[in-house]
Structure 1
Amino acid sequence: MKVELQTISSPVFSKSEPVLKSQNQQEPTPKAEASAQVKPTKDQLEKVIDAMNDMLKPAPTSSKFVLHEKLNDYYVQIVDQVTQEVVKEIPNKKFLDMYAEMIDFMGIFVDKKI
């Protein structure tokens, strides 16, 4: 919790006094007070809870290690078991392809004999 020191000048006192003010505290607004008083219905709570439970269900995915041929190194694919679609690659295969091409390009100047 951060605390900020502010000076407030008062018309009653001639000198200003330091006052501690927390940055996490906010002045209650009439709109915030009105929304705090409204209670959700049972149906609304059930809908929100069902939506949260659906969000928290694990997705049917599996991981697969794949060998990148040019780099001779492995990367991970996250595959959806239902559709067999690749959801994510770690690191990205396009990035690895680009890296392999850069190594080949630099190898022209460094590694190969003329």
Structure 2
Amino acid sequence: MNQPIGNVPKPSTYEATATPKVTSNDGIQSVQDLKQAQAQGQNIPISEQQLVKAIERAIKAVEGTSTTLDFSIHEQTKHIIVKVLDKSSGEVIREIPNEKSLDFLAKVWEMAGAMVDERR
């Protein structure tokens, strides 16, 4: 049932409760119209700008009144890190995945690379 919208796969774990507007020249005006078009086998491409706006709306929907989300990329592993921050204090409430775990993973990759290089 997970069919791509353009090059972006439809998330399977979350369903939108609101009906955000999708602007398209194919007469698609809502998420329901998009789902109906997909059910009929139509492939509706979306622009990068539409994708960014949809992601921003999703982030705002997930953020609470007292929390905010911060996204970053771990330099060595190139994994995305999401931090849940308290809006008032800026304190990190939760970090997914934990940066220390990614540091450990990077070190393991480095050691594995060194072992492969030594065997040659």
Q: TM class, shorter-chain normalised?
A: 0.3 to 0.5
Could you state the TM-score of these two structures normalised by the residue count of structure 1?
0.45
Q: Report the structure, 1 or 2, having the larger strand content.
A: 1
Larger radius of gyration: 1
